[in-house]
Amino acid sequence: MPNQNTRMPSGRRGRTPAEIMAAYLDDRNRELLEAVVTAAALVARADGRIEPVERGLLVDFLDRNGFLSVFTRAEILDAFERRLRRLDERDGAAAAIGSLGRFAGRSPARLVIGASEHVAGAAGEPRAREVRALRLIRRIALGALPAPAAPDRPRAGGAR
Domain boundaries, the chain: 18-146
Would you say residue 5 has pLDDT above 80? Answer: no
pLDDT at 34: 93
Confidence of residue 27 (pLDDT cuts 50, 70, 90): confident
pLDDT at 104: 87
Confidence of residue 149 (pLDDT cuts 50, 70, 90): low
Q: How far apart are CA 60 and CA 15, in angstroms?
A: 36
Please give the residue that has the higher pLDDT: either 5 or 160. Answer: 5
Model pLDDT for residues 85-125, shown as the tens digit of each residue: 999 999 888 888 888 888 888 888 999 999 999 999 887 88
Q: How far apart are CA 115 and CA 119, in angstroms?
A: 6
Would you say residue 57 has pLDDT above 60? Answer: yes
Please give the residue that has the higher pLDDT: either 76 or 108. Answer: 76
Q: How many residues does the chain have?
A: 160
pTM above 0.85, yes or no: no
Q: Say which DSSP state 45 is in.
A: H
Give CA 155 to chain center in angstroms: 24
Which CATH code of 1.20.1050.10, 1.25.40.390, 3.30.420.40, 1.10.3680.10 fits the domain covering 18-146?
A: 1.10.3680.10
Amino acid at 85: R
Ranges of H-type helices in 1-153: 17-46, 52-64, 73-87, 92-100, 109-120, 128-141
Contact 80, 58 (CB under 8 A): yes
Q: How far apart are CA 3 and CA 138, in angstroms?
A: 46
Mean pLDDT of 35-53: 93
Confidence of residue 158 (pLDDT cuts 50, 70, 90): very low
